[in-house]
Each structure stands twice: as structure tokens, then as C-alpha cells.
Amino acid sequence: MSKLFMFEKPLGMRDTLPQLYNRKKAVRDQLAGEIKNWGYQYMETPTLEYYETVGNASAILDQQLFKLLDRQGRTLVLRPDMTTPIARVASSKLANDIPLRLAYEANVYRTQQDEGGRPSEFEQVGIELIGDGTITSDAEVISLMISALKKAGLQSFKVAIGHVGYINSLFLEIVGNEERANILRRYLYEKNYVGYRNHVQNLGLSSIDRDRLLNLLELRGDKTKIVDAIDLAESEEGKKAGRQLRDLWKLLEVYGVTNEIKIDFNLVSHMSYYSSILFEVYAENVGSQIGNGGRYNELLEKFNQNTPATGFGIQLNRLLEALNAPEEEEKIDCILYSTERLAEAFALAEEKRKAQEKVVIQNIAGVQDVDSFTQKFDDVTYLIGKARGENK
């Protein structure tokens, strides 16, 4: 391995310089404003968790976890997502307060195997609604997400909603066992529709069943596809899943957010803990989803708590990319003084600061190049030399 240069950072780690920091904070605050208005309460969890607990329960692949050892030799992970730690807290400490409405803004960590362009540490803003198993809570989570994104200024985006339970029961009723259903699910997960179609053709099914599996790929679009999906399913399970989406759509109409919704019954997430309704958010000018979410009733079982839950997470860096807002220069004034006039400079600065203005006071003796230093400030006041007052 070559020797590191002093400016290098680990793969996927990024600095946030002041301008970006300000933009990030502004967007984060806009999201938080809406999330708080819906009565969700913010919380924090530790950056490090046990591999055996949170690491294992998380849906993030093992090879994507950052692992380290504590002094006792136990394996720790840098939290790869926030849903799992919150599930841990909710099952152990807050189990009696359900339904719970929790929110978070935190950095999560996933190692990147591939080339550049993908961060290993990124901030997620999200919510979890724990303890309400009704479809109304799915509708609330999706509506809040859409509302928060709009508040943050995002204009052109779509939320694709699917139902893992529907896919599972359709596959099971046609191909008969989990193992064969898994193969089909894997093709959908890999977005490999060519492979899916070829595989279905070679399964030796009746032409009716074959066409049903192929028709699944067409179940993508507006609410009419929900009706098609209910017709396509034969089992009660499948029809029930379809009806859940139909009910969800009606609720989303009440919330007035259906313009942003696309139905997609082929949606399969890498998050293996999603058990029924799941969704992904896409925005213009960003090549990957900017957020996702869904119902994860089984995750809390891993923490010995049988509680339904749903939530969403937005990847803040991708949302920023989608917003594409110009970087805002902060308005900061400067008072440049010579040592003997410090008291005067400080008094003036305090006055301005009381009026919520941002002021730097800088001793001119500490500046090498006055021209380039003063350039970055909005307004400069010179308090230099003896008692001759201001000369701007």
C-alpha cells in the first residue's frame, strides 16, 4: 500500500465546508419544521452499536458494515441505518407509550465497494411511527414525507409505492414454495426483467399462470393498476394486499398527495425487513432514490417486541443535489482594529451582535494581506490608529 498523503480521507468520507454546511442545515431545518408540526419527537442513538444486536437485525448487508472491536473483544458496528437502533430503543424503553411518533437526523455508515461518487457516511432524516398497524399510519408516513419534501422546496418528484406481501403471495400461489418464489423475487430485486421473463417462460407453468406472472410486470402506473392487481391475485392473502393498497390510495387522496404517487407492484427493496407496503422517492437530476420507507412489522420481533411499525428515511445529501439551490454566501461583517482600540471594537461588535448581525473582530496586526482578507466580508469597519474615529 502506498503511503497516505496528509490530505487524504478514507473512501467515501467527505468534508462539509461552510457553504454546504449552511445549505444542509437550512434544508434539515425545513424538514424538521414540518416533522415537528406533525407532532413527531426527535431523538438520538449512539453511533456505535453491537454487531450481534443492531448489526444483525439491520437489513444492510454484512460486507457494508464498518466493524471494530471494543476492549472486551466484542464486535461493534457504526450504525448502518437509524430504523434498527430506534426499533431497539422502542422495544426496550418506550414499549408502553405506543403509538409512538419518533424522528431523527443522524449520520449513518455503509462501506462502499465500488468507485467514487458514493459517500460512506451520510445523513438521514426520517421518522418512525411505531405501534399502529392500521393502513392509516402508512398514509400518514407517506403524506408527511411528501409534505416535508415540499416544504424543503422540492418540486418535481415521485413516490413509487409497492407491496411486498402482494408479490410474496402471488409468487407462492403460482410457483408453490418459498425457494422458487425467492428466485423470482431476486430477479425483481435485481431489476432484471429480461431474466424474470426468461425464467418464467422456462418454469413449465400452465399458460394462464405464466401470463399471470408476466402480467405482474405491467402493474405499474396509476390507481387503475391496483384494480388489475386485485384481479390478478387469486389467494385471499394477495387480494387482501391489493385491497390494502386501494385503501391507502383513498387515504392519500384525503391527504391530497396522489399527484406525487406512482403504483408499482414490482417494487422490491434491499431492506429485507419490509413486510408489506414499501415506497421509494425519486427526484429529477439525481440518479438514485433520495429516500425510502415502508412497514417493518417483523423488525421489532427481533428485539422481542411484537409491534407493527412504519417509517421513512430521506438521504439529505441526495435531497440537496435534487434541490440544486445556489450556495448562499453568509452575510458577515468585519471590524478591523489596531490593538489600542480593542475596547471600542468589542463594544461596537456587541452592539451589532445584539441586533442579530454576524460580526468578526480582527486585530489588523494578525492579518498578512488586508485586501484579500477583507474581500470575503459583507461590510468592513476600520478602527485603526489613535482616537481619530472611524475611517471607512
Partner 1 sequence: MSSPLTIAMPKGRIFEEAADLLRTAGFALPAEFDDSRKLIVDVEAENMRFILAKPMDVTTYVEYGVADLGIAGKDVMLEEERDVYELLDLKISKCHLAVAGLPNAIRDEVAPKVATKYPNVASSYFREQGEQVEIIRLNGSIELAPIVGLADRIVDIVSTGQTLKENGLVELEHIEDITSRLIVNPVSYRLKDERIDEIITKLASVLEG
Of 285 and 306, CB closest to partner 1: 285
Q: Is the Cβ of residue 219 or residue 233 nearer to partner 1 in the bound state?
A: 219
Our finding on whether 116 is near partner 1 (CB under 8 A) is: no
Stretch that binds partner 1, among 9-17, 282-290, 296-304, 345-353 (CB under 8 A): 282-290
Distance CA 196, CA 211 (A): 12
Among 14, 25, 74, 191, binds partner 1 (CB under 8 A): 191
Give 130-168 as a DSSP string: ES--SHHHHHHHHHHHHHHHHHTT--SEEEEEEEHHHHH
Count CB atoms within 10 A of the CB of residue 275.
19
CB closer to partner 1, 106 vs 257: 257
C-beta closer to partner 1: residue 162 or 242:
162
Task: Give one DSSP letter per residue of 109-137, joined into a string.
Answer: E----S-SSS-SEEEEEEEEEES--SHHH
Site for partner 1 in 164-183 (CB under 8 A): none
* CA–CA distance, 369 with 175 (Å, rounded to integer): 76
Is residue 185 a contact point for partner 1 (CB under 8 A)? no
Residues that bind partner 1 (rule: CB under 8 A) add up to a total of 24
- Residue 133 sits in the site that holds partner 1 (CB under 8 A): no
β-strand partners of 382: 336
Candidate residues 156, 182, 224, 235; the one interacting with partner 1 per rule CB under 8 A: 156
Neighbours of 68 (CB within 10 A): 11
Identify the residue among 39, 204, 287, 366 touching partner 1 (CB under 8 A): 287
Please, which residue, 219 or 283, has the CB nearer to partner 1? 283
Instruction: State which of positions 192-211 bind partner 1 (CB under 8 A).
Output: 192-195, 198
CB 154 within 8 A of CB 323: yes
Residues 6+ apart with CB under 8 A from 276: 163, 164, 165, 241, 244, 294, 295, 297
Q: Does 286 bind partner 1 (CB under 8 A)?
A: yes
What's the half-sphere exposure (Cβ side, CA atoms, 13 Å) at 331?
5
By residue count, the chain amounts to 392
Question: What's the one-letter identity of residue 270?
Answer: H
Q: Judged by CB under 8 A, does residue 160 bind partner 1?
A: yes
d(Cα 219, Cα 196) in Å, to the nearest integer?
A: 15
Question: Measured from the CB of residue 190, what is the shortest distance to partner 1 in angstroms?
Answer: 8
**Per CB under 8 A, does 61 bind partner 1?**
no
Stretch that binds partner 1, among 37-45, 91-99, 278-286, 375-383 (CB under 8 A): 278-286
DSSP letter (8 states) at residue 391: -
Query: Taking the complex as a whole, how short is the minimal distance between the CB of residue 361 and partner 1, in angstroms?
Result: 46
Return the residues of window 208-227 that contact partner 1 according to CB under 8 A. Answer: 220-221
Q: Applying CB under 8 A, does 282 fall inside the site for partner 1?
A: yes
* C-alpha Rg value of the chain to the nearest Å: 27
Q: How far is the CB of 284 from partner 1 (least distance, A)?
A: 6
Binding site for partner 1 (CB under 8 A): 117, 156-158, 160, 190-195, 198, 220-221, 262, 264, 282-289
